[in-house]
Amino acid sequence: MRGHRGLEGRTPFEMWAKVAKPGVPLPPSTRQLALSFGIKIKDRPITKHGITVAGYSFVSADLSKMRGFVGNRKLQVSVEQEEAGRVWVRIPDEHVDRIPDLDPGQKYLEVFNPALAGRLWVELFLSRKEVLELSKAQQKAGRPFRLESHRALLGPSETARKAAGIPADVKMIWRLKEYV
């Protein structure tokens, strides 16, 4: 590989080796950010339909296995404010070793609903018939309608993001403002 002028004549790998010495922390992964700034919602049981959040089901083979271990016990669930297609289910400590293919120390199971991938929770809420009808009625009465529950959910995670010094994704904030 050729060296790059912008990297003082070094290759990208050489520059990475220089800055990735012990003691220099790697940036947080998408997974770490999602778990740190995700919104913990009401604990939920795993049913034959998986985990249900706001009427949407999230299912996986590992989640089905975990249902056999925990029965009707309610588990902690977290959602990402920008990604409705994924939830995180906390694996009870006594069952972490029973779920195959988990990284050491992994305590959350990532569960997907592909039909919701890339969508915002606020988009999903605003697309519901009852919410649309309420919005129209409020606007007709001269009272602008806002989805206050989303704003309330957004607050704690936004405060934590700012405290951690993590920059906001300008595109996501723009999309959110478009719907709220």
What residue segments make up the domains of the chain, in order of their start?
27-179
pLDDT for the residue 88: 92
Q: If you average pLDDT over residues 139-147, what whole number do you get?
A: 72
For 22-80, what is each residue's pLDDT tens digit?
666 677 777 888 888 888 888 999 999 999 998 899 999 999 999 999 999 999 999 98
Q: What is the average pLDDT score of the chain?
A: 79
Query: Residue 138 — very low, low, confident or very high, per pLDDT cuts 50/70/90?
Result: confident
pTM of the full structure: 0.62
Helices (H), the chain: 12-19, 30-37, 61-70, 121-126, 129-140, 148-164, 170-179
Q: Which backbone phi and psi does 5 adopt, to 5 degrees?
A: -60, -40
pLDDT for the residue 170: 43
Angstrom distance (rounded) from CA 55 to CA 122: 14
Query: Residue 180 — very low, low, confident or very high, per pLDDT cuts 50/70/90?
Result: very low
Neighbours of 175 (CB within 10 A): 15
Looking at mean pLDDT, say which of 3-7, 32-36, 68-72, 120-124 comes out highest.
Answer: 68-72
pLDDT for the residue 152: 62
Query: Residue 118 — very low, low, confident or very high, per pLDDT cuts 50/70/90?
Result: confident
Is it the case that residue 160 has pLDDT exceeding 60? yes
